Structure 1
Amino acid sequence: MESNDIAIIERNVGQDAELKALWDLHRDYEERLEKLSRKPYLTPSEEVDVRELKKKKLAGKTKLQAILDKYK
C-alpha cells in the first residue's frame, strides 16, 4: 500500500468499522505470508495456504481501495 493510503486508513480507522476490519485482515494476511516466505521449504499444504492468502489479500485490498476512494 502507498504511504498516502496508509495515512488515510490511520486517520479513519477509528470511525469506520468496515475499514478497520478490512485493514486488520489485510495486515494479518501480510504477516502470515511473510512468515511463510521465511521458510526454506513449503509443504504442499503450505503452498496452497500461500495461494489462498494471496487471493484473500487481493480481494480485501480491492475492497479497501473502494473505501479509500470515498475518503480521497
Structure 2
Amino acid sequence: MQTETAITERLRQSNTEFRALEESHHRLDAELADLQKRHVLTPAEEVLKKQLQKEKLATKDKIAELIRSSR
C-alpha cells in the first residue's frame, strides 16, 4: 500500500484536477493570510474571510477525496 505522500506525488504528476485544486488551496491560503494580517476587518472583509475559509475547506475536502479514491 502506498503512503499518502506517494499518492499525493503521483496525483500531482498525473492529475490536472489535483494540481488545480492544490494551486487553488495555496491561493486561498495566501488570501486568508493577507486578511489575517490586518488588525481590524470591515464587515465586507469579514464576509470575504468566511467565504474564503469555506472555499478553502471545500477544496481541501476535494483533494482528500481524490487521495482516498486513489488508494
Task: Work out whether the TM-score is over 0.5.
Answer: yes
User: Could you say which structure has the greater relative contact order, defined with CA pairs below 8 angstroms and 6 or more residues apart?
Assistant: 2
2:40 maps to 41
Aligned residues: 69
- Which 4+ stretches in 1 moved above 6 angstroms? none
Residue 10 of structure 1 deviates from its aligned partner by: 4.0
The one-letter amino acid of 2:68's match is D
1:21 maps to 20
Q: Distance in 1 between matches of 2:65 and 2:22?
A: 13
The one-letter amino acid of 1:57's match is K
Q: Which runs of 5+ in 1 are unaligned?
A: none
Residue 69 of structure 1 deviates from its aligned partner by: 1.3
SS at match of 1:40: coil
Give RMSD over aligned pairs: 1.8
Q: Which runs of 5+ in 2 are unaligned?
A: none
1:62 maps to 61
Identity %: 33
The one-letter amino acid of 1:20's match is R
Residue 8 of structure 1 deviates from its aligned partner by: 4.2
TM-score (norm 1): 0.81
